[in-house]
Amino acid sequence: MSLDQLYQQIILDHSKARHGSGLAGTEAPDGATTGQSHQLNPVCGDEVTLRLAVSDGKVAQVAWDGAGCSISMASASVLTELAEGMTVAELHEVIDSFREVLRSRGKISADPELLGDAAAFEGVARYAARVKCAMISWVAAEDALNQAA
């Protein structure tokens, strides 16, 4: 299996089995500070509402609800899996790196050591119209993180 095929499979798997999806039915952890952000891409209709809970300087929970293309939903799922347990500073670093890769138009390679499965979205950077799809949940997470931290 090539790396491109592996990345495609990661995106397909996460778009079907959405980690962290179900915000409406999920309570925030006791004692955690939370932030919540709703983001909409009016061009394509992707929509995400994401709540992030921080406890003792670490991301205790990411929960979200959304509707949209497989890229936007998979990106939210990957973000959830990656972010939980990170410190606030680590998550900011990961968000910044993800943004840099996606805005590079394919000129910057993703660091899988830092981005984990989010490196699968590296190919999206070559398609300007899809960058917002992959970024929508990350923008929501950054906003929620700034509220909670």
pLDDT 10s per residue in the chain (149 long)?
A: 565 665 577 776 767 778 888 888 899 999 999 999 999 998 889 999 999 999 999 999 999 999 999 999 999 999 999 999 999 999 999 999 999 999 999 899 999 999 998 999 998 898 888 999 999 999 999 999 999 97
Quote the pLDDT of residue 7.
59
Residue 59 CA to residue 43 CA, distance in Å, equals: 31
- Write the CB contacts of 6 (distance below 8 Å, at least 6 apart in sequence): 120
Evaluate whether 71 touches 133 at the Cβ level (below 8 Å). yes
Domains of the chain: 3-148 (3.90.1010.10)
Quote the pLDDT of residue 5.
66
Quote the pLDDT of residue 1.
58
Quote the pLDDT of residue 44.
87
Quote the pLDDT of residue 118.
92
Quote the pLDDT of residue 17.
79
Question: What tokens appear for 80 in the block?
Answer: 């959830």
The pTM for the full model equals 0.92
CA distance between the termini of the chain: 41
Q: Which residues pair with 47 in a beta bridge?
A: 40, 67
